[in-house]
């Protein structure tokens, strides 16, 4: 009986030992993926910002500029690209909508981002665009990979349509979450005008004929939860200028927008809660279950060896009773 139980425990120990690396190296890459149909939105604000009044072509202080960013998963497009890419793909149709304090549109820039569902590496395919212009991303955007490392990453900037390093600056704690802090500086760069202009009748082509150009710089900051690779908070010190041309009436430059863009408080709370939940799920696949199964396998192996040792030990012979002497007659 002991030997049978020992063999059963040994088989269970081997199963646990085999499942441990399978969960980490096989199941994790296949289960930890961005859903193809995911939808998310984010509201950011720049308070006490500077904004260009296109009526007077003068910069003025405004109490608030609001930026609404949406990312919508395009399942149909993802399925088409997967057939040729040979791996799970996510297609995000994004929109960055900027509005002034009066609710009027300042700019509207659509974007299509195509990337690997697990690694977040960009996938180059037809339709990869920013504001209708074809682009080829060489770095991440919006999200870091699962199990983010303490190193620099290549990050794509949609305004300049270029990729440059975003630098790891250390470990911090944000709202009770252990995060990695990243920062990227984009120097003053000439960038195209948005195709949707804030003034009716004005187009990028008509502005270009005046000789006026648009320039942009920013300091981009992210606080990233390393297990999920999701930013729990982000902000930009953003500046835009119009330079030269007849549109400025002889001035060399005028500020089009300047402000410290930050996530709105209610979206910070929602994002932190969501990341904490997803972090628990990822840790189950990468740490809790693999190490738990390995420990359980070792425990079952120890019990199996103990039972085997006891089953193979020879039993002591049973003591025999001494025979009673027969009575002796006189």
Does 317 fall in a domain? no
Whether residues 45 and 59 fall in one domain? yes
Q: Is residue 101 part of a domain?
A: yes
Q: Note whether 18 and 106 are same-domain residues.
A: no
User: Across residues 219-237, what is the average pLDDT?
Assistant: 96
Mean pLDDT over the full length of the chain: 89
Can you give the pLDDT at residue 316? 54
Report, as an integer, the average pLDDT of 167-196. Answer: 96
% of the chain with per-residue pLDDT over 70? 93
Is the model more confident about 328 or about 283?
283
- What residues make up the domain containing 135? 35-263
> Does residue 140 share a domain with residue 254?
yes
- Tell me, what's the pLDDT at 313? 58
**Two structure tokens written together for 112:** 């299509």
Where are the strands (E) in 230-320, listed by range? 230-243, 253-263
Instruction: Tell me how far apart the alpha carbons of residues 18 and 29 are, in angstroms, rounded to a whole number.
Output: 17
Asked whether residue 94 is assigned to any structural domain, the reply reads yes
With a cut of 60, say whether residue 319 has pLDDT above it: no
pLDDT, position 317: 57
Per the structure, the count of domains in the chain is 2
pLDDT classification of 137: cutoffs 50, 70, 90:
very high
| Domain identity same for 10 and 40 | no
For the cut 60, the answer to whether the pLDDT of residue 323 exceeds it is no
Q: 90 and 238 in one domain? A: yes
Examine residue 121 and state whether it is found in any structural domain, yes or no. Answer: yes
Is residue 108 in a domain? yes
Q: Which of 131, 96, 28, 130 is nearest to 261 (CA)?
A: 96
Q: State mean pLDDT over 74-85.
A: 93
For residues 132-152, average pLDDT = 94
Percent of the chain with pLDDT over 90: 65
299, with CB counted inside 10 A (0-12, 13-18, 19+), is middle
The predicted structure's pLDDT at residue 330: 40
Determine the Cα angle at 302 with ends 300 and 307, to 5°: 95
pLDDT for residue 27 is more than 90: no
What's the order of all strands across the beta sheet hosting 133-134?
133-134, 129-130, 105-116, 89-99, 58-73, 39-53, 253-263, 230-243, 213-225, 177-191, 162-174, 153-157
Q: Of 205, 229, 263, at which residue does a domain stop?
A: 263
Mean pLDDT throughout 21-49?
91
Q: Which two tokens stand for residue 77?
A: 């497009």
What whole-number distance in Å separates Cα of residue 228 and Cα of residue 224? 8
Is the pLDDT assigned to residue 297 strictly greater than 90? no
Same domain, 205 and 296: no
- Averaged over 77-99, what is the pLDDT? 94
Residue 195's pLDDT band, with cuts at 50, 70 and 90, is very high
pTM confidence score: 0.87
Using 50, 70 and 90 to split pLDDT, how confident is the model at 326?
low
Closest Cα to residue 44, out of 262, 269, 221? 262
Residues 256 and 299 in one domain: no
Strand partners, 278: none
Give CA–CA dist 20/26, Å, rounded.
10
pLDDT band at 176, cuts 50/70/90? very high
Same domain, 84 and 179: yes
215 and 103, same structural domain?
yes
**Is the domain of 80 the same as that of 156?**
yes
The burial class, CB within 10 Å (0-12 / 13-18 / 19+), for 172 is exposed
Residue 130 or residue 311, greater confidence? 130
């Amino acid at each position: 009986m002991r030997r049978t139980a020992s063999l059963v425990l040994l088989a269970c120990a081997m199963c646990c030992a085999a499942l441990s690396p399978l969960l980490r190296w096989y199941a994790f890459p296949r289960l930890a993926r961005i859903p193809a149909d995911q939808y998310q939105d984010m509201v950011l604000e720049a308070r006490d910002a500077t904004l260009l009044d296109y009526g007077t072509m003068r910069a003025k202080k405004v109490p608030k500029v609001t930026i609404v960013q949406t990312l919508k998963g395009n399942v149909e497009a993802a399925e088409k690209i997967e057939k040729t890419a040979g791996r799970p793909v996510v297609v995000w149709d994004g929109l960055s909508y900027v509005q002034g304090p009066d609710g009027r549109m300042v700019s509207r820039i659509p974007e299509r981002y195509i990337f690997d569902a697990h690694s977040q590496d960009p996938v180059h395919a037809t339709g990869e665009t920013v504001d209708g212009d074809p682009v080829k991303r060489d770095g991440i955007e919006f999200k870091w990979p699962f199990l983010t490392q303490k190193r620099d990453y290549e990050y794509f900037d949609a305004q300049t349509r270029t990729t440059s390093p975003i630098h790891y600056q250390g470990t911090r704690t944000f709202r009770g979450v252990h995060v990695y802090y990243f920062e990227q500086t984009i120097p003053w760069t000439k960038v195209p005008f948005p195709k949707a202009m804030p003034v009716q009748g004005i187009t990028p082509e008509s502005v270009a004929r005046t000789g006026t150009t648009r320039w942009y710089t920013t300091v981009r900051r992210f606080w990233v939860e390393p297990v999920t690779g999701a930013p729990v908070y982000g902000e930009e010190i953003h500046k835009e200028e119009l330079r030269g041309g007849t549109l400025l009436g002889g001035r060399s430059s005028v500020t089009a927008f300047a402000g410290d863009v930050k996530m709105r408080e209610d979206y910070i709370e929602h994002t932190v809660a969501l990341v904490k939940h997803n972090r628990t799920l990822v840790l189950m696949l990468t740490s809790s279950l693999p190490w738990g199964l390995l420990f359980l396998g070792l425990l079952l192996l120890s019990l199996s060896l103990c039972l085997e040792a006891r089953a193979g030990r020879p039993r002591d012979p049973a003591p025999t009773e001494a025979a009673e002497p027969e009575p002796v007659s006189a």
